[in-house]
Amino acid sequence: MPILGEERSSELEAAVTTIRATCHTCGEVELTPDDIELRVCTHASASYYRFECPLCRTEVQKPADDRVVQLLISGGVTATVWELPDEVQEERAGPPLTMDDLLDFHLLLGRHDWFDSLLRVHSAT
């Protein structure tokens, strides 16, 4: 859970929001709103925020629940909305692909009539 703070820069006399977040390696680090990328998904559980650790330069990505999203936005972080691709919501039928299926498909793609072959298989089911 990130923590908001506020620091005054002596030169600019402007309040700068600092956000403390945790790097897996370095522990608590201080960031500014511009350091954080907040991606809010229409499917709430897929929302996340990420930043580059200012100490070790590692990319850190963490899930953002509603509370975290609210907190980061109130701290001045810009949120970008993204949607899960429709395929994620599709119902799936039939057995999962096997390595043999993949190899067959690879061989099929080498044939000039591969698309027609797929159409024939699809319309037969």
Summarize as ranges the residues that interact with Zn ion (CB under 5 A): 23, 25-26, 53, 55-56
Long-range contacts of 27-30 (CB under 8 A, 24+ apart): 29/53, 29/54, 29/55, 30/5, 30/54
Residue 81: strand pairing partners: 40
Q: Which is nearer to Zn ion, 21 or 72 (CB)?
A: 21
Is the CB of residue 2 less than 8 Å from the CB of residue 13? no
At closest approach, how far in Å is the CB of 52 from Zn ion?
9
**In the chain, what is the greatest distance between 2 CA atoms, to the nearest angstrom?**
74
DSSP-based three-state secondary structure for 76: coil
Of 46 and 62, the one with the shorter C-beta distance to Zn ion is: 62
Q: Which CB, 51 or 77, lies closer to Zn ion?
A: 51
Q: Which is nearer to Zn ion, 19 or 40 (CB)?
A: 19
CB of 56 to Zn ion, least distance (A): 3
CB of 27 to Zn ion, least distance (A): 8
The per-residue b/e assignment along 24-42, b for 16 or more CB within 10 angstroms, e otherwise, is eeeeebebbbebbbbbbbe
Least CB distance to Zn ion at residue 40 (A): 24
